[in-house]
Copies of this chain bind each other. A is one copy, B any other.
Amino acid sequence: MTQAQQYAQENAARFRSELIDLLRIPSVSTDEDYAADCKKAAEWTVDHLKAIGLTAEVIPTGRHPLVYAEWLGAGSEAPTVLIYGHYDVQPAAKEDGWDTEPFDPVERDGKIWGRGTTDDKGQFFTHVKAVESLLETDGKLPVNVKFIIEGEEESGGESIAKYVHEHADRLAADVCIISDTSMAKKDQPVIVYALRGVTAFEVTVYGPKQDLHSGMYGGTVHNPAQALAEIISKLHNEDGSVAVPGFYDAVRVLSDDERAALEKVPYSEEEWKDDTGAPKPWGESDYSIQERIGARPTLEINGMASGYWGNGMKAIVPEKAWAKMSCRLVADQDPATVAKLCQDYIMEIAPDTVRVEVTPFKVGTPSPQTDIDTPMMQAAIAAYEKGWGAAPVFKREGGSLPIVGDFQKVLQVPVILMGFGLNTDGLHGPNEHIHIDMFHKGINTSIALLDEVAKL
């Protein structure tokens, strides 16, 4: 145990008490009624970071403020670690099924119960306490550290995206650490090293100028719902792959080592069935379920509509049909390029008996990936081994965290997602909690991480 870890152990109760102070602030970012609380949480965080010895400031934005803090005393030759977190939380009310008041946290059964305990106040606070422990025991940090803590993660995250683009120099770092994901179980840490990006568009098929009487015109008009279905049916091949030409061109190939590493994350077909409730898996037969979710891009129908969908029947030929589609992307696919490929293909297969429009949405999240054989990743592995007492497994997440893409793209920094929570911690639901031992192991792991990065 290092001196810093010793310090953390001795101050564990105070650390939790401080976290509970922060948890009491109902910094719900999705509801403007709580805007003042978001500001209060930002100010509390800045005050706290200043108190432990960092330079810190509240940065006003168009909505909820950002928190920026830094300690650059390790010198320009030393590596710089950027730590991201968010102080905003999901809405919560006792009547949603909580056993305790969501904003009046309690310690019980080895857990702290309250909104934000795991997502993400409890998780980012581990790094704050790691920094304090190192500063208090060594008088300095082994590396330079920057914190960027936002208040809109649960509600769009536009302010931080803007700030990253405008102040890339200030946030420059050698590695970015985020603790806002989940582990497989308490003794099995998980490093998420890749996320999927997103692009999305809408396809509209126009047929007749208005809904037609199916008796008077049925059989002579290409039914737009049918035409849309015919288009959709051509988007995938028999083997589950996407049929859009060029769709896979930019996909980074999955190495054998990576496939072996991914196989270590246990996820059986039975678990998949329990999770989804679907009869049996579908998708690219050459890839495992885990790989299909994390390492392969998709083209998904998110919704579609045409004509009459209420009760009973209505004998019409609908005037139009539309579908909302999105792609989950992987490194190194470019969202706009993939949207264009899809658009071109759909227009090419569109029959001339209807009029088809493809409208890309103004979203486009890239697909960040930090290769698992890089030195920074080795430091993260060692940190878990020394701080948590277990080697992590590697996982790709199928979802997107837009800010991760921004960090990687704008700051050109490898991003490592080191979660200290569990999927079962009630994030976004009632009775959110963090395991007290995991909170403290998180602090230990963060201390070890800063030490490990210093060795690089």
Contact = CB atoms under 8 A, between A and B. Distances in A.
Interface of A: 196, 198, 200, 202, 207-210, 212-223, 225-226, 228-236, 272, 275-284, 289, 292-293, 296-298, 300-309, 312-318, 321-324, 326, 328, 351-355, 361, 363, 397-400
Given A279-B355, A313-B361, A352-B280, A399 B213 contact: yes
Contact of A309 (B221, B225, B305, B351): B305
Query: Number of copies of this chain in the oligomer?
Result: 2
Contact of A207 (B236, B278, B305): B278
A300 B328 contact: no
A304 B313 contact: no
Contacts of A214: 298, 300, 302, 326, 328
B307 A324 contact: yes
Nearest to A202: B313
Contacts of A322: 309
A221 B301 contact: no
B216 A398 contact: yes
Nearest to A401: B215
Nearest to A313: B200
Given A305-B309, A315-B198, A324-B313, A279 B218 contact: no
Given A218-B293, A219-B293, A309-B322, 12 more contacts: A214-B298, A221-B281, A221-B282, A222-B278, A225-B302, A229-B230, A229-B304, A280-B353, A300-B317, A302-B307, A304-B306, A305-B309
A301 B234 CA distance: 18
Contact of A289 (B210, B220, B226, B316): B220
6 contacts: A219-B283, A229-B232, A230-B232, A230-B233, A233-B233, A313-B324
A215 to B, nearest CB: 3
A225 B278 contact: no
